[in-house]
Structure 1
């Protein structure tokens, strides 16, 4: 199935080796341990070894790391013949992106006397940036080569760091869980890339753009991992103490409310009242996305539940009604529906953060205001902070859409080895696989026929016994 245009024999090794050699050289010249990681600097101070930030941050880092490599990877295994590509390419671009993110974020946030200082917190931030790239990966899943994905990751990480610097440093925007900087940016960047890479004859691969029973079960593994660890994701870099505690709790209840809303809306929008696994796999996570910006704020438990409930509703409606129109009218072929899981809930989270910030008062936050809204303590009014939060959303959308368009044009270059329209969503192009024909259940000698319901939701037809 591989032809000269998609053969990775030289393209992928050259890309991987050149990128990694550049990374090694840059790390050697620019990166050094921070004061909590360096042996000499740490022992120059009087404190307990257990005061090291490693013991506070590493559990959260591991949770985030699991989300990046297992959660995102397995969530995308729903395609019946693209499991290797989903998990394997997720692994590849995450390993590259976290290294490149360490450098790019370090240039803007971590430079000290010409050196980038790294520690456990920089590892978490690099994973956050990687998460944004993996969101974009979901939009182009099955339609791009590994070389295209690495090139996309290189540019996206750079733009992510620029956007993050503008919002968090220059504007003083608060976005602990990344509703704007991670989810909104990653979703709309990916949507613009897939729009530029539009494939007019993708319907020739529609027989592969669907799931089977076991692939949906694998995708649910990713869903459950993401759902479980999302409170750690949103709270990983918030201030120790009440801030981290509150962020995890708000996310926890937002996810729970979102899940009930998802099940309810999935049954409600189906003509026969049956649940759609696509909705459960994705929309049930939207509460975590929507709680990202306001999670560390005094959102209150019932407020976080309202946010989660709304996120679940709009996500299911997006999958059911909006995605088909995005493809037919705007020519946006969003494989994983990232607009419904990350895009719209991310915008919702940004709006909730802006509103919550605009009503913040010292009576509610007390001395905690310095952790949550340090700019208000310095003299900025709450309404102005809310305005800056809204401005941050607008800037994020602008950079994501413009950047995605430019990167999409670059990725259209034929030398990158993209698959043709007729064999997208197929592992056999880039991987050695044992199954080359249609899926056959050897125990029952059954051949499963599959067709697509509107946008990514497979409808399983009657089984033909041979």
Structure 2
């Protein structure tokens, strides 16, 4: 099925080699170990080897890393004939994004002596940025070439770092789990890109834009990894001690409550009362997104459960009723429904964070107030002002995401990247060597479908 336009023989190698050579040069010039990684600097003072930040942060980094490469990758394998691309392109753009994010975040968040210092915390932050890119990837899944995705990653990482700098450094926003900086930004950036790349004749590939039994099972692997490790994601870079402990706990209860409301709403919104696997795979994770901003705050387990409960309801309703409207009225073809899993719950999380911040008092937080809200101090801003800053930050994020997605979408629309035709979307064999030829591949899929739903005696006949 590969034609001259989609042939990656030169386009992909040239893009990968040029980008990686540039990265290697920039790392050689700008990047060096931080004091906890450098042999000379670490041994310069007396301390226990176990005081190294590695022992505090690396377990969280491992969990976040699993989410990025396994969680996001397998969550997108629900498409019946796009499994190679879902996991494979996720792998490709994540590997690029984490390198570029190290440079961009290091540049915007302060260079020491003209150098970017890297350690385990910078690895976590780079993965966070990569997560935002993978969220956007979900909105354009199946309709873009690997070269387009690499281009999107380069620009999105840069804009992500700018937005993060404005929020965290200039405004003093608190967003530990990234409801705004990661989820809201990634979702609305991806939605705007999807709008610019709108395909009016995508119905030609409609029969492939669906799942089969085994592809949904693979996608559930991604869901479960994400669900289990989300408390680590939200708490990975919070302050040691009660802050990190509280963030993990709040996320834990939010996810649990969200799962129950997701199952309830999935059955409730179905005419026959049957559960929809799309809802379970995605909406059950919305509680982790919604608890991101307020996770480190004194949200309480009670408040966390309310947040997760509402997030599950909102997400399922989005999949059931809002996604068709976005496509038919706004011409936004959101393949994975990132608006329902990341967009709306991200906005909700930002609002919850703003309200919770505005209610912060010395009586509630005690001496821990300066950890959670460093800008709220006797000589600093008031809690209500911090709440206002949180709300302003949401508006800034939405503006950056929508404008940035619009511009990057037009760059990606240039007819030089080998994008698939309308009739060839959601198909692995465009860019991958698939076992067997095209006809054989289709035959294998149809046989699997038949065997999956055939009666035992009919299966014997097939064999």
Is this a same-fold pair by TM over 0.5? yes
Q: CA deviation at 1:113?
A: 1.1
- Structure with greater helix percent: 2
> Could you report, residue by residue, the CA deviation over 1:174-233 in whole angstroms, capped at 9, with x for unpaired residues?
000000000000000000000000000000000000000000000000000000000000
Shift of 1:379: 1.5
Instruction: Name the residue aligned to 1:398.
Output: 399
* Matching of residue 446 in structure 1 with residue 432 in structure 2: no
Partner of 1:246: 246
Give the aligned partner of residue 102 of structure 2: 102
Q: For 1:308 and 1:105, how far apart are their aligned partners in 2?
A: 30
Task: Report the equivalent of 2:219.
Answer: 219
State the TM-score, normalizing by the size of structure 2.
Answer: 0.96
* 1:340 to 2:340 alignment: yes
> Partner of 1:84 in structure 2?
84
State how far apart, in whole Å, the 2-side matches of 1:57 and 1:440 are. Answer: 45
Which residue matches 1:2?
2
CA distance in 2, matches of 1:439, 1:203: 22
- The secondary structure found in structure 1 opposite 2:32 is strand
| Range moving further from structure 2, 81-90 or 438-447 | 438-447
CA distance in 1, matches of 2:443, 2:30: 50
Q: How does 1:340-379 map to 2 (within 5 A)?
A: 340-377=340-377, 378-379=379-380
CA shift at 1:109, angstroms? 1.1
Whole-Å Cα distance in 2 between the matches of residues 395 and 444 of structure 1? 48
Q: Is the 8 Å Cα contact of residues 110 and 117 (structure 1) preserved in structure 2?
A: no
* 1:307 aligned partner: 307
Number of positions where the alignment pairs a residue of Structure 1 with one of Structure 2: 452
* Counterpart Cα distance in 1 of 2:385 and 2:411: 39
Please give the alpha-carbon distance, in whole angstroms, between the structure 1 residues aligned to 2:63 and 2:127: 11
Inter-partner Cα distance in structure 2 for 1:340 and 1:160: 21
Q: CA deviation at 1:440?
A: 3.8
CA distance in 2, matches of 1:445, 1:176: 44
Kept in 1: contact 2:212–2:449 (CA 8 A): no
The whole-number CA distance in structure 1 between the counterparts of 2:105 and 2:449 is: 54
Unaligned runs of 5+ in 2: 454-458
Match of 2:143 in 1: 143
Cα separation, 1, equivalents of 2:331 and 2:443:
30
| Partners of 1:191 and 1:270 in 2: CA distance | 26
What's the CA shift for 1:25? Answer: 0.2
Shift of 1:405: 0.2
Equivalent residues of 1:110, 1:118 under 8 A apart: no
The structure-2 alpha-carbon separation of the partners of 1:322 and 1:445, relative to structure 1 and needing over 3 Å to count, comes to closer
Q: In structure 2, what is the equivalent of residue 388 of structure 1?
A: 389
- Confirm whether residue 185 of structure 1 aligns to residue 189 of structure 2: no
For 1:448 and 1:157, locate their aligned partners in 2 and report how far apart those are by CA, in whole Å.
42
What is the SS of the residue equivalent to 2:207? coil
Deviation at 1:448, TM superposition (A): 8.2
Aligned to 2:456: none
Q: 1:177 to 1:118 in 2, by over 3 A?
A: same
For the aligned residues, what is the CA RMSD? 1.5
Point out where structure 1 has 5 or more consecutive residues left out of the alignment: 450-462
Structure 1 position 267 matched with structure 2 position 267: yes
Report the equivalent of 1:54: 54
Paired with 1:117 and 1:379, the residues of 2 have a C-alpha distance of 30
Deviation for aligned residue 1:424? 0.1
Once the two structures are TM-superposed, the CA of residue 394 in structure 1 deviates from its matched residue by 0.2
* TM-score of the two chains, using structure 1 as the length reference: 0.95
Aligned in 2, Cα 1:212/1:368: closer, same or farther, shift over 3 Å? same
Name the SS of the counterpart of 1:301 in structure 2. Answer: helix
For structure 1, which segment, 427-436 or 211-220, has the greater mean C-alpha deviation from structure 2 after superposition?
A: 427-436
Distance 1:442 1:399 in 2: 44
